[in-house]
């Protein structure tokens, strides 16, 4: 396995929001590649833990409220205490609130920004300090099609995902020379809880599907290959990249 540049044998990955959807799909892909997993979030990732252990990997749950932005350094500390090390951080936890811009509330703005961009930066900071002290590591941020586009009725989500693209590049500029790779995956339109309203709207869902060359909504497993690539030594010379996994949406 040591000769396989995509192998994560002996590595530990911390995935925020690993209880369902994209986070669960990424956690399982990393576990299949050999990594042990820590899942951090306000909802315990019990189902994900069962699936990771079924693959023969270790899993620990870490309770964390990323809306209130509690000190996130202890999440890294609990990962290291529970699994012995930390090699990979996946900033996946995300929140979306929908309303017309003229009606959008300050609470919805703050909640989304706290989870999607503020917590992601400070999680990266905490992991970065650990990686600098230990010779390197991998950070994978979860961006969005709205890191490239404006969207409609999701002002704080668009702002936060545009911000994720920016801090991904910023951290790559600062930390690439320290053996840390910071990149992002930009999922296209995925069949998750966050898009349930869109998929339930027949007209909106059809408009989205008509633009996707692949002709379908994505599923969490579609992110697995990109996540393993960016978490492994196969991506050692990749820094500051934002990789769309979108069925061709941006190419249209």
CA distance 19 to 1: 29
Using only the alpha carbons of the chain, give its radius of gyration.
17
For residues 74 and 72, what is the distance between their CA atoms, to the nearest angstrom? 5
Can you read off the two tokens belonging to residue 99? 């309303």
pLDDT of 181 higher than 70: yes
Structure tokens at 55: 């693959």
177 or 194: which leads in pLDDT: 177
In this predicted model, what pLDDT tens digit does every residue of 66-124 receive, in sequence order? 988 778 899 999 999 999 999 999 999 999 999 999 999 999 999 999 999 999 999 99
Q: What is the pLDDT of residue 2?
A: 53
User: Which residue shows structure tokens 């941020």?
Assistant: 141
What is the pLDDT at residue 3?
87
pLDDT of residue 1: 44
C-alpha span between 65 and 107 (Å, rounded): 16
| pTM for this predicted structure | 0.95
Catalytic positions: 157
- Per-residue pLDDT reduced to its tens digit, 136-149: 999 999 999 999 99
Angle formed at CA 44 by CA 42 and CA 49, multiple of 5 degrees: 145
- The mean pLDDT of the chain is 96
In the structure, what pLDDT confidence band is assigned to residue 39 with cuts at 50, 70 and 90?
Answer: very high
pLDDT at 68: 84
Domains and CATH numbers, the chain: 12-245 (3.40.50.720)
Express as a percent the part of the chain with pLDDT over 90: 91
């Amino acid at each position: 396995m040591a000769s396989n540049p995509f192998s994560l044998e002996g590595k530990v990955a911390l995935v925020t929001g690993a209880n369902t959807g994209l986070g669960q799909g990424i956690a399982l892909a990393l576990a299949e590649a050999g990594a042990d997993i820590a899942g951090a979030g306000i909802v315990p990732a019990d189902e994900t833990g069962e699936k990771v252990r079924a693959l023969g990997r270790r899993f620990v749950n870490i309770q964390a409220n990323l809306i209130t932005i509690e000190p996130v350094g202890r999440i890294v500390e609990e990962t290291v205490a529970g699994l012995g090390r930390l090699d990979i951080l996946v900033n996946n936890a995300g929140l979306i609130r929908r309303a017309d811009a003229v009606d959008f509330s300050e609470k919805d703005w703050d909640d989304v920004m706290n989870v999607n961009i503020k917590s992601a930066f400070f999680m990266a900071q905490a992991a970065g300090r650990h990686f600098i002290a230990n010779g390197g590591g991998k950070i994978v941020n979860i961006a969005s099609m709205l890191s490239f586009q404006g969207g409609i009725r999701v002002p704080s989500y668009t702002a936060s995902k545009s911000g994720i693209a920016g801090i991904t590049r910023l951290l790559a500029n600062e930390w690439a020379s320290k053996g840390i790779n910071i990149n992002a995956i930009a999922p296209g339109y995925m069949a998750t809880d966050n898009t349930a309203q869109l998929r339930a709207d027949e007209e909106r869902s059809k408009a989205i599907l008509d633009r996707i060359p692949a002709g379908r909504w994505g599923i969490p497993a579609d992110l697995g290959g990109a996540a393993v690539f960016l978490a492994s030594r196969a991506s050692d010379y990749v820094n500051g990249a934002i990789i769309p996994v979108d069925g061709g949406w941006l190419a249209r």
